[in-house]
Amino acid sequence: MTARLPTLPMPKYRCGGLVPPANPTVEIEYPVLLPADVALHTMRLPVLPGDLDARNRGYVESFPEMIKGFGSLKLDAIAIALTGSQYRLAPQGDRDLCKRLSDQAGVPVETATIAIDKALKKLGIDTVSLMSPYPNQQTELAVRYWTDAGYRVHSVSQFEDRLVAYQVTPSQIGDALKRMDTAPDGAIILSGTGMRTIDMLAATAREIAVPVLASNICSIWSLTAHWGEPSPWMSAVAPAALLT
């Protein structure tokens, strides 16, 4: 009987993830983006009251306690699978947060926004076009964050004046990508870890004239690039220059 079953993995590395409570995407995309021999272990952030801004503030406050929730499980890195909660912190506040959490955990802890910033620097890109699944106020914070981080925001594509990250479909994202106004030497940021992007990007990324940087792709690339060969999915959707 067991001879016909797939071999159970024996991971060399373990990656933790903090995931928003209703996020339907991270635990689908992270596992296929991870290199071989890496196990994923996630914690769901608390369900919080209030509007989007209040919840984002509460998520940041919850990070230290949530990291403690991994207990004695030995992790090699922890990805914070959010972008929206960091936009109010500004880039320096985001970096300071990651340093405090890394010191607490004893392993690298990184937000999705910091991972995107690292990818842009690796590519040598200083101009971005932003695709936002957020309401107007959150989109404005995102533009301010990337401007304060030293990037020129060439254009913004917003779906609606509400949070749609969990509802927008891959085909809608793909159609919006093809319509975006991009700078020839720029990149597109797909902000929002809840947007399902990698199956769409595998089919269409080569049709887009500039690099496309999605939150989940950048987080896994940034934390695990030295853990072995990129997975087939990572090779298919990440800009080639990130993998060299």
- Tens digit of each residue's pLDDT, the chain (244 residues): 567 888 888 999 999 999 999 999 999 999 999 999 999 999 999 999 999 899 999 999 999 999 999 999 999 999 999 999 999 999 999 999 999 999 999 999 999 999 999 999 999 999 999 999 999 999 999 999 999 999 999 999 999 888 888 999 999 999 999 899 999 999 999 999 999 999 999 988 678 889 999 999 999 999 999 999 999 999 999 999 999 8
CA 205 – CA 126 distance, rounded (Å): 20
Structure tokens at 10: 């024996």
Axis-axis angle for helices 90-105, 52-68 (nearest 10) = 20
CA 8 – CA 134 distance, rounded (Å): 39
Give the model's pLDDT for residue 126: 97
Structure tokens at 14: 């373990």
The sign one gets for the Cα dihedral 30, 93, 50, 132 is negative
Q: Out of 3.40.50.150, 3.60.15.10, 3.40.50.12500, 3.30.70.2860, select the CATH number for domain 2-243.
A: 3.40.50.12500
Instruction: Return the bridge partners of 39, or none.
Output: 14
Strand order in the sheet with 38-44: 38-44, 13-19, 77-80, 109-111
Contact 194, 2 (CB under 8 A): no
Structure tokens at 96: 């300071």
Q: Where are the domains of the chain?
A: 2-243
* 91, 156, 172, 229 from 143: Cα distances, Å: 12, 8, 22, 34
Give the model's pLDDT for residue 206: 74
Which residues are CB-neighbours of 12 under 8 A, at least 6 positions away?
37, 38, 227, 228
> DSSP secondary structure string, 95-162?
HHHHHHHHHHHTS-EEEHHHHHHHHHHHHT--EEEEEE-S-HHHHHHHHHHHHHTT-EEEEEEE--SS
Kindly provide the residue ranges of all beta strands, DSSP E only, lying in the chain, ordered along the sequence: 13-19, 38-44, 77-80, 109-111, 127-132, 152-158, 187-190, 212-214
Give the model's pLDDT for residue 1: 54
